[in-house]
């Protein structure tokens, strides 16, 4: 995940509550059905992705597998 100034030709653009999310064509299949939220807590802040299609994930939560 990173920040981009403009969408690429094959990006999917989703806008919700004034926030634009750009998803590249490679990642879209891995994110279908996922919920993206921005969390602020005492431990820090950042984006949290909840994907019900995940079948395996690592202990740190940075990588996952889907069927």
Give the right CATH number for 1-53 from 2.60.300.12, 3.40.50.150, 3.40.50.300, 1.20.190.20: 2.60.300.12
pLDDT digits (tens, 9 = 90+) for 7-60: 999 999 989 888 888 999 888 888 888 888 889 999 899 888 888 877 777 766
Q: Within 13 A of 2's CA, how many CA atoms are on the CB side?
A: 6
Q: Is 28 left (phi over 0), alpha (psi -120 to 50) or beta?
A: alpha
pLDDT at 1 over 60: yes
Domain ranges of the chain: 1-53
- Show contacts of 26-34: CB within 8 Å, 24+ apart: 29/66, 30/66
Sequence length of the chain is 67
């Amino acid at each position: 995940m990173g920040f981009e100034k403009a969408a690429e030709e094959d990006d999917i653009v989703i806008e919700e509550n004034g926030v634009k999310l750009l998803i590249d064509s490679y990642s879209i299949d891995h994110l279908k059905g996922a919920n993206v939220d921005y969390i602020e807590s005492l431990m820090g802040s950042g984006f949290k992705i909840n994907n019900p299609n995940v079948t395996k994930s690592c202990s740190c939560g940075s990588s996952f597998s889907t069927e």
